[in-house]
Amino acid sequence: MANENGVRRRISKFLASRPGIILVGLTIGVIAPLLQQQGNPPNMGICVACFERDTAGALGLHRFEKAQYIRPEIIGFVLGAMVSAFLFREFKPRGGSAPIARFLLGVFAATGALVFLGCPWRALLRLAGGDGNALLGLAGLAVGVGIGSLFLRRGYTLGRSSPAPFLSGLILPMVMLLFLGLLATRASFGKDQAIFFSAKGPGAMHAALLVSLAAGLGIGLLAQRSRFCTMGAIRDAVLIRDFHLLSGVVALIVAAFATNLLLGQFRSLPADKIIGHSNHLWNFLGMALAGLAFALAGGCPGRQLFLSGEGDGDAAVFVCGMIVGAAFAHNFFLAGAPDAVKDGVLTVGGPGHYGQIAVVAGLAFCTLLGLTARRKV
């Protein structure tokens, strides 16, 4: 037992170190392009926002037929993080910190991400795959997180979470197990009823179930203990000049770039193949909204899934908000449209009027929350 505890402590210490977080970033940066090579969409080896959108579509929460598939990577993130939390005795059910605010932050985070057409992870992977449009998204992300960091410096808080019953910490992992069962059995509840599977488009592009699930489990195990977080990397750099997490993010980009080169996936894709758009203003503003929402909620979408796996009910509420927000994005025409080429003519995509209004409303909500939810002195 003592030897086992010693091994656990050494692993835990390594993953929490600078070399450890770099190794995690390198691992994610290799796995994501490999998932693309195995069937996931271009420059979308991993995208939490897109995968939650696809999962929402599979459940019938939206009816956009090109984005309907329960993504095993999301399931793996939560379950892998749960296993890690139990192994390192960090499974601590908790919650109760401003749930409705966190839910709405999740809704607006998904809205902003889907206006850009990607979460922070996908923005990094798009850049590492040769899509220069990702630079505007990353700039917006940095600005949004930077504004959120200023609110944190001025005392912003949603209050402390409280210990919760053990079973409550298992709810989201059990939901993910249910999703896995529905996916594995390709369950159907009647003609034209869920579970839905895309016949074409991004939702029809996916690696084999076991490959995707194994990738998600592995990343969940590593990222839970290392605290890997794209939002946290920017926040720590801005607030305390700590570049520990940022080193993992840089490692992800380097590894993804190198892996794409080796696989022949680094290339400038035609505008109608990148599953993104070149509307620079809304690439920037969409991710600015997402970054601000992530900062106010305390983690990027990947980190929220990992926290959910270790029993954090507040993170689980945010995850539910993102899934609902992703459904809203397609039900109410908020998501950005990708660039399209017809008869040799490029049509620049981006959000329509409703999506633009939603981004402005989201920025207003997050700003108001950041200004008013402050620690009482």
79-117 pLDDT, tens digit each = 999 999 999 999 999 999 999 999 999 999 999 999 999
Of 182, 171, 179, 211, the closest CA to residue 75 belongs to 179
Give residue 225's domain range. Answer: 2-372
In a domain? residue 244: yes
Q: What does DSSP say about strands 345-347 and 340-342: parallel, antiparallel, or unpaired?
A: antiparallel
What pLDDT, on a 0 to 100 scale, did the predictor assign at position 98? 95
In a domain? residue 304: yes
Whether 271 has a pLDDT exceeding 60, the answer reads no
The amino acid occupying position 62 is H
pLDDT band at 6 (very low <50, low <70, confident <90, very high): confident
CA distances, 148 to each of 155, 343, 368 (Å)? 11, 44, 11
Whether 376 has a pLDDT exceeding 70, the answer reads no
Whether 163 has a pLDDT exceeding 80, the answer reads yes
Whether 344 has a pLDDT exceeding 80, the answer reads no
Average pLDDT, the chain: 94
In a domain? residue 240: yes
In a domain? residue 168: yes
Write the pLDDT tens digit of every residue in 218-255: 999 999 999 999 999 999 999 999 999 999 999 999 99
Asked if residue 47 lies in contact with residue 69, where contact means CB atoms within 8 angstroms, the answer is: no
Asked if residue 292 lies in contact with residue 148, where contact means CB atoms within 8 angstroms, the answer is: yes
Q: How many domains does the chain have?
A: 1
Bridge partners, 162 (sequence order): 95
Whether 5 has a pLDDT exceeding 80, the answer reads no
Write the pLDDT tens digit of every residue in 167-219: 999 999 999 999 999 999 999 898 889 999 999 999 999 999 999 999 999 99
Angle separating helix axes 209-226 and 72-87, nearest 10 degrees: 40
pLDDT band at 2 (very low <50, low <70, confident <90, very high): low
In a domain? residue 377: no
